[in-house]
Chains A and B, each alone.
Chain A
């Protein structure tokens, strides 16, 4: 109930044109990777998935943002079924260990039927350029090589709600789903991350 109201609201605000250019909505396990430029990104991407797909797709989000108050904690846990990960190193935790923890959490969250929404840039960018991807995506794919990685390009969401603003301007946006890719057996980390990033950027040019 709350999830469909929220999804409709997100769709009204974002007014997206959705193109499944490289694949169709499917029950197969996937990791949707998208560019990140606005707080709206995951809610809007999630809202434009068909309802049956929405229920089995879990957004990966930052704990420091989504655990900040009661409403956000409720939404993250009950509505989005989000996977909250720590990104800021708390004192005494080495960064590497934090990364491993996050990857373990994502592997567990995938289980054998869920899909994930992931922003591999790790943080919001300006919207002009897609930043280099963090290595978590590679480790996740190495542990789950059968899961398809679907590149997604989100356009104009940073114009609807730029960094540092609270109220959205109703500009029309666009969501493009690209062709799924998978980690090749002998592919290096850098090559894979570069290939994944290019697959997202290519959708911008095509859009």
Chain B
């Protein structure tokens, strides 16, 4: 029952709930004022996002309250569903079947087991070393060499993004910080608030001030104004949350800047994949949000970088 003791965590959650209440009320007010069809569609989309946010916030809170196991299991589930969406989009062949079974039912749970027992030495190399080589071996053994390199790479990529990278988020729970013990839950919440906040802020700044497209061929909805405004606001948001973290105020701001930038790149890269595969979303599991992977795309880049930067400079 970590939430009962950790005052910083309580305040973070309290702030999040207040923010969601404000967003919900604002969404309802805007919906009442919307006149034409286009505005109404945007507002409906916005409100669907806010509703899904409530659900995600509650699930996240429950998993943190349960303790470290809760968060590890939650992210394992997210990874599994994200991997499912990713693999669906890549052109696998029947000969890959065994390699896929291993990926879903052995490598993914094993990665989270290692994260759960804080075995840094192994969870940080399981997929980039062992799974990387094993998958190539397993697919070679199947005897089907058509598009061999494309097939192997795509499955390796799926595991790296959906499982390995994402698992760095709950891995924060086992990260020791010099002079602060293991402030895991607050670090995790800091990461999630800044990365998702950055997404929302970029969306809002883009809708309000967006003029010039930043990557018209990859992600036509992203604008320079949305990017600059969103990243700046997310940096400020992170700096203002310094009191909950082991960081000084300028350090928290710098960390938030890194999170927002890597998160942006993550979204961009995942858009490139979707565009190549000819889809708009990875899935349909969350109303208003598309698939799981559409929600955590920025986290896949931000989590491992945030983990390693924090470990390098503050690890103890």
Contact = CB atoms under 8 A, between A and B. Distances in A.
Interface stretch (A2-10, A49-57, A107-115, A158-166): A158-166
B104 A170 contact: yes
Interface residues on B, range: 10 to 19
A11 to B, nearest CB: 13
A71 interface: no
B155 to A, nearest CB: 11
B150 to A, nearest CB: 16
A171 B84 contact: yes
Contacts of B104: 169-170
A26 to B, nearest CB: 24
A145 B315 CA distance: 76
A15 B97 contact: no
B94 A158 contact: yes
Interface of B is mostly: helix
Interface string A147-164: 000000000101100110
B100 interface: yes
Interface stretch (B7-15, B85-93, B119-127): B85-93
Contacts of A169: 87, 97, 100-101, 104
A167 interface: yes
B101 A159 contact: no
Contacts of A156: 88
B84 A165 contact: no
19 contacts: A17-B284, A158-B94, A159-B92, A159-B94, A162-B94, A162-B97, A163-B94, A167-B101, A169-B100, A169-B101, A169-B104, A170-B80, A170-B84, A170-B104, A171-B88, A171-B100, A172-B84, A172-B85, A172-B88
Interface of A: 15, 17, 156, 158-159, 162-163, 165, 167, 169-172
Please provide the 8 A-B residue pairs with the shortest distance between their CB atoms, ordered closest to farther. A162-B94, A172-B88, A169-B100, A171-B88, A170-B84, A165-B97, A162-B97, A17-B284
Given A158-B94, A167-B101, A169-B97, 9 more contacts: A17-B284, A156-B88, A162-B94, A169-B87, A169-B101, A170-B84, A170-B104, A171-B87, A172-B283
